[in-house]
Amino acid sequence: MSLVVSKTSSGREYKVRDLSQADFGRLEIELAEVEMPGLMSCRSEFGPSQPFKGARITGSLHMTIQTAVLIETLTALGAEVRWCSCNIFSTQDHAAAAIARDSASVFAWKGETLEEYWWCTEKALDWGPGGGPDLIVDDGGDATLLIHEGVKAEEEFEKSGKLPDPSSTDNAEFRIVLGLIKEGLLVDPKRYRKMKERLVGVSEETTTGVKRLYQMQVNGTLLFPAINVNDSVTKSKFDNLYGCRHSLPDGLMRATDVMIAGKVAVVCGYGDVGKGCAAALKQAGARVVVTEIDPICALQALMEGIPVLTLEDVVSEADIFVTTTGNKDIIMVHHMRKMKNNAIVCNIGHFDNEIDMHGLETYPGVKRITIKPQTDRWVFPETNSGIIVLAEGRLMNLGCATGHPSFVMSCSFTNQVIAQLELWKERASGKYEKKVYVLPKHLDEKVAALHLGKLGAKLTKLTPAQAAYISIPVDGPYKPPNYRY
């Protein structure tokens, strides 16, 4: 990669699409601030004491307007920040421009190639000779993965002299990762180990990244402490659910302008994300069908009046397909071939392997017609009938629209700030081992509380007698840890 890093007048590095969009970005950031009371409240509560003074934070998380408010909350608390996006289509270029100009090093633009994507990730981790970041804000775990793979490769190289071999893998993206590490190794064979040494910990945003972390914990390979932000109630039961309820129809409308009412829509997976998607589609007048592996989630769908069938049962009758599973190989090319003309196929799960894009791209004689960026019609030669694939199978709400709205992201990101504060405060105390932690209930409740005033809500206060009767403190936490909400 021969990409050129730019510098602001103050010497801060960046690479964005177009710095001249910074003013536009700034206006939208200011609007978003009004919608993000949790983050703004962190600024007023913690700003004066500058708790992140001296901390270097690297973020790998969709570089949107909302993320911009997160970044500027981190810098308002004293941090230095470098940032990249965690998806090739999710950057809002005006947001990236405003941050690059005003606040932090950004390496992100809408429509990166996979090579560019990993170049950006590496740049966000690259704090120069003194090693890497102190803290990572991760979403999906790619920054964390790069360090873990880097350390593994360095150790192997030190032991056996063997360099990572990109050709050893079928996975196109992982090949790029290995190539990147290989290059790096030749320059500095201790680079990722130095990073690991400095790193205090990571806070991870999403289900997929969390799954990776727990696997590493189980395998004993986790290199630093991690806080699982996803499983804060105020994250997974809000962002995943209400965020997707908002942004799925937004993505569908911006990409295709299709009328949702009257259509048959299949939602693969009925977890928090699937529940949000199904609710949105149902409310818009679609007939929704859910596919599920888990009988409990399936029974929940049924109780909401949603039939649970297999993809095979409905593949040739449905108009819209959405994958939300966090698993792979959900909609395969053999499914797509049986779909109706102009059926819409999209994914709102973190990774792009839910839809068999490889199978589609390599289908003999298939024709791709790009309607507009992130909206492609793929025509099969036998039937001359096409399907419409959004965002090349990647997160359609970020690829085709602007992702989740500010208010719900304020919940998620306030958890992030609190997690980062906690990791940094306890950096020397040994409180956090190389394990995965969730935030304590009272912080979770605090995040919610910070968002009530904006919506005009008034809480009822327990009397001491009532608190005693149900054996909880008057000021909470109000629920046992396993409470499901």
The residues assigned a catalytic role are 62, 85, 90, 139, 205, 230, 235, 239-240, 244, 350, 404, 412, 416
Asked whether position 448 contacts its own copies by CB under 8 A, the answer is: yes
Give the total of residues touching its own copies (CB under 8 A): 113
CB–CB of 332/353 below 8 Å?
Answer: no
> What would the two tokens of residue 32 be?
């978003």
322 sits in which H/E element: strand 320-323
Minimal distance in Å, beta carbon 38 to its own copies?
11
> What would the two tokens of residue 289 be?
């069908």
| Cα angle, residue 88 at apex, residues 85 and 92 outer, rounded to 5° | 60
Asked whether position 295 contacts its own copies by CB under 8 A, the answer is: yes
Asked whether position 129 contacts its own copies by CB under 8 A, the answer is: no
| Cα angle, residue 140 at apex, residues 137 and 142 outer, rounded to 5° | 75
Question: Using CB under 8 A, which residues numbered 161 to 220 contact its own copies?
Answer: 211, 214-215, 218
User: Is the CB of 5 or the CB of 299 nearer to its own copies?
Assistant: 299
Q: Are strands 320-323 and 264-268 parallel, antiparallel or unpaired?
A: parallel
Binding residue numbers for NAD(+): 206-208, 271-276, 292, 348-350, 397, 404
Query: What's the rounded Cα separation, in Å, for the pair 406 and 101?
Result: 21
Query: What's the rounded Cα separation, in Å, for the pair 204 and 416?
Result: 8
Minimal distance in Å, beta carbon 351 to its own copies?
10
Asked whether position 59 contacts its own copies by CB under 8 A, the answer is: no
The H-assigned helical ranges of 262-395 are 272-283, 295-303, 311-314, 333-337, 357-361
Q: Which residues contact 173 (CB under 8 A, 6 or more apart)?
A: 114
User: Is the CB of 12 or the CB of 254 nearer to its own copies?
Assistant: 254
Asked whether position 287 contacts its own copies by CB under 8 A, the answer is: yes
Distances (CA, A) of 64 to 45, 106, 213, 314: 24, 11, 25, 35
Three-state DSSP state, 189: coil
Asked whether position 256 contacts its own copies by CB under 8 A, the answer is: yes
Asked whether position 456 contacts its own copies by CB under 8 A, the answer is: yes
Please identify which residue in 308, 338, 358, 359 interacts with its own copies, judged by CB under 8 A: 308
Asked whether position 476 contacts its own copies by CB under 8 A, the answer is: yes
Asked whether position 97 contacts its own copies by CB under 8 A, the answer is: no
Among 43-51, 68-76, 190-198, 311-319, the segment contacting its own copies (CB under 8 A): 311-319
Neighbouring CB atoms inside 10 A of 40's CB total 20
Asked whether position 114 contacts its own copies by CB under 8 A, the answer is: no
Among 107-115, 142-150, 423-431, 471-479, the segment contacting its own copies (CB under 8 A): 471-479
Please identify which residue in 91, 121, 234, 412 interacts with its own copies, judged by CB under 8 A: 234
Binding mask 328-347 for its own copies (x = CB under 8 A): xx-----------xx-----
Query: What's the rounded Cα separation, in Å, for the pair 59 and 56?
Result: 10
